[in-house]
Amino acid sequence: MSRRNHRTSSFKNLIVSLLFLIILGIIGYFVYPIVVELLHEHGFIEGKCECGELDPNYVPPHIHEYIDGVCSCGKLDESTSVIQSDTLSIHFMELGNKYTGDSIYIKAGETDILIDAGSRGNSADDITNYLNQYVEDNTLEYVIATHAHQDHIAGFVGTSQIKGIFDEFICEVIIDFSLTNATSKVYQNYVEKRDLEVQNGATHYTALECYNNLNGASRKFELSDGIELEILYNYYYENKTSNENDYSVCLMINQNDKHFLFTGDLEDKGEEKLVEYNDLPEVELFKAGHHGSYTASTLTLLEVIKPNIVCVCCCCGSDEYTDVIDNMFPSQAFISRVLKYTEKIYVTSIISDNEDGFTSLNGNINIISDGKEVIVNCSNNNTVFKDTEWFKENRKWE
């Protein structure tokens, strides 16, 4: 073979080889991904494989947007401790006369509660008119009489011209003091009217029966969603004392992690026992013991409960019980102890030289809680006690 022919043959072989390599490259470019796809098993995590492939069947999860602990889809936010509760409303009422006394109306959801009905028999008219604004079915689910003094029970009986609370309303459950030294006509009339209410269908328990869960009574009563009434233990439920005030029924209204304390007219020895026998929490509200007397609301109790709001049911500056200005309700000693914990002190009424002998200080005091926020709304004004003219003239913030 000539050299020329040999060179021609070699050139042809080179061209063929190049064409072959080009063809292989083209085939590899298009076929290799298909082969890899066929051989690769996708491991999808949250809709995506490590190779970058997206899962066509993947549906992303719902992104929850919580408002007050609840998403629009209905799911509750498990990371928050917010628990839903019905509204709680507590009313410290004025009683229509110049005499100091207690009557406290509580509405928990649709449940109506009345603690005491002072200060005199004719106060029943003012109490009834006030309750009729809120009680829609003429029924008080729970009635509590803390102790046997006139300024706490006279309104349950009324007068010969004015119907008492037991006559005006259906009272389903009546809880009252376990012991008493009382022999007064007011007390006897109270027992007579209470027992008549029981004959007509009411259920009666003593505070001690409630605390011990006896005879169908309960230590705790569920009032509404997230709200309960708890009867606390008072040493003087079952131990005699010469001080009638220390027989007072003591109770707590619990609204999830918020607490509202009522101790009637419990005084220093009673408060000492209350702290000793109960695991008391810090409270949003404390109804001042014994109308703001110097004998109650002691540091023994206040150091434990550390109240945020204190409400005083009294006729401020009255000489009904004493001529000593410092000891008139609310007393200087009471102020000096409470100010260590709060300046939010509110008082219902104050003496006046008008024909009634009294007028509103804060007026009817309404404490409202939705389980998260607690607000104060008074019928006359929301001025805290230390900012009133009477306080500036008669008390010291010290």
Higher per-residue confidence, 234 vs 60: 234
Q: How many CB atoms lie within 10 A of CB 359?
A: 16
pLDDT band at residue 81 under the 50/70/90 scheme: very low
**SS3 call for 46:** coil
Residue 323: how many other CB atoms lie within 10 Å:
7
**Cα–Cα dist 288/263, whole Å:** 8
> What would the pLDDT profile of 327-346 be if each residue is shown by its tens digit?
999 999 999 999 999 999 99
Two tokens at 387? 């900012």
Task: Label residues 83-101 b or e (16+ Cβ within 10 Å = b).
Answer: eebbbbbbbbbbbbbbbbb
Q: Tens digit of pLDDT for each residue in 384-397?
A: 999 999 999 999 99
pLDDT of 39 > 60? The answer is no
Tell me: pLDDT of 2 over 90: no
Residue 57 above 50 pLDDT? yes
Calculated CA dihedral for residues 110, 106, 97, 345, nearest 10 degrees: -140
User: Is beta strand 345-351 parallel, antiparallel or unpaired with respect to 358-360?
Assistant: antiparallel
- Give the domain ranges of the chain: 3-61, 88-394
Looking at residue 15, what is its pLDDT?
A: 74
Q: Is 280 exposed, middle or buried (0-12, 13-18, 19+ CB in 10 A)?
A: middle
CATH number assigned to the domain with residue range 88-394, chosen from the 4 options 3.40.50.300, 2.170.190.11, 3.90.226.10, 3.60.15.10: 3.60.15.10
pLDDT at res. 35: 55
| Mean pLDDT, residues 340-353 | 98
Non-local CB neighbours of 330 within 8 Å, separated by 6+ positions: 288, 291, 292, 312, 314, 316, 345, 347, 385, 395
Q: Which two tokens stand for residue 84?
A: 């839903």
Arithmetic mean of pLDDT, 77-87: 65
Average pLDDT over residues 147-166: 98
Three-state DSSP class for residue 227: strand
Are 249 and 147 in contact by the 8 Å Cβ rule? The answer is yes
pLDDT of 17: 72
- Which segments of 181-298 does DSSP mark as H helices, in order? 185-199, 207-211, 268-277
Pair 145, 174: CB distance under 8 Å: yes
> Average pLDDT, stretch 227-245?
98
Q: Using pLDDT thresholds of 50, 70 and 90, give the confidence band for residue 252.
A: very high
Which of 69-81 are b and which e, b meaning 16 or more Cβ less than 10 Å from the residue's Cβ?
A: ebeeeeeeeeeee
Is the peptide bond between 330 and the residue preceding it cis, with omega within 30 degrees of 0? yes
What is the model's pTM? Answer: 0.81
